[in-house]
Amino acid sequence: MQRLQGSPPSVGSVVAVGIDQKALVQRLWDFCNVLRDDGLSYGDYVEQLTYLLFLKMADEQHELLGGERVVPIEHDWQSLLARSGAELENHYSMTLSELGAADNMLGVVFHKARNRIQTPAKLEQLIKDFIDKHEWLSYEADLKGEAYEGLIEKTAQEGARGAGQYFTSRALISAIVDVMQPQPGDRICDPACGTGGFFLGAYRSIIDRCTPLEPEHIAHLRSGGGAFTGWELADLPARLCAMNLLLHGIESPESDSPVHVDDALRADPGQRFDMVLTNPPFGSSASDSYEREDFWAVTRNKQLNFVQHVVSLLKVGGSAAVVVPDNVLFESGAGETIRRRLLHDCEVHTLLRLPTGIFYAQGVKANVLFFRRREGAEQAWTRELWVYDLRTNKHFTLKQNPLTRADLDDFVACYKPSELHKRQPSERFKRYSYGELMARDKVSLDLFWLRDDSLTDIDNLPPPAALVAEINEDLESALSEIRALTEALSPNSDAPTPAPR
User: What are the residue ranges of CATH 3.40.50.150 in the chain?
Assistant: 150-488
Q: What percent of the chain has pLDDT over 70?
A: 80
Rounded mean pLDDT of 177-181?
Answer: 98
Question: Which carries the bigger pLDDT value, residue 166 or residue 425?
Answer: 425
Is the pLDDT assigned to residue 110 strictly greater than 70?
yes
Phi and psi at residue 94, to the nearest 5°: -65, -40
How does DSSP assign 187-255, residue by residue? Answer: -EEETT-TTSHHHHHHHHHHHHHHPSPPHHHHHHHSTTSSSEEEEESSHHHHHHHHHHHHHTTSS-TTS
Q: Where are the alpha helices (DSSP H) in 377-440?
A: 409-415, 434-438
**Highest CATH level, class, for 21-140:** mainly alpha
Lowest mean pLDDT among 121-135, 314-328, 367-381, 450-464: 450-464
Mean predicted lDDT score pLDDT of the chain:
84
493-499 LR contacts (CB < 8 Å, sep 24+): 494/298, 496/297, 496/333, 496/334, 496/337, 497/296, 497/297, 497/337, 497/341, 498/337, 499/336, 499/337, 499/340, 499/341, 499/344
3-state secondary structure of 379: coil
pTM for the whole structure: 0.82
Q: Kindly calculate the radius of gyration of the chain based on its CA atoms and give it in whole angstroms.
A: 24
Range of lowest pLDDT (85-89, 103-107, 167-171): 103-107
Number of H-type helices and E-type strands within the chain: 17, 9
Residue ranges of the alpha helices (H) in 129-168? Answer: 141-156
pLDDT digits (tens, 9 = 90+) for 223-261: 666 899 999 998 888 988 988 888 787 887 777 888 999
Band the pLDDT of 64: cuts 50, 70, 90: confident
Instruction: Give span(s): CATH 1.20.1260.30, the chain.
Output: 21-140
**Residue 118 class from Cβ within 10 Å (0-12 exposed, 13-18 middle, 19+ buried)?**
exposed
Predicted pLDDT of residue 166: 61
Q: What CATH number is given for 150-488 in this structure?
A: 3.40.50.150
Confidence grade of residue 13 (pLDDT, cut at 50, 70, 90): very low
> What is the Cα–Cα distance from 172 to 367, expressed in whole angstroms?
11
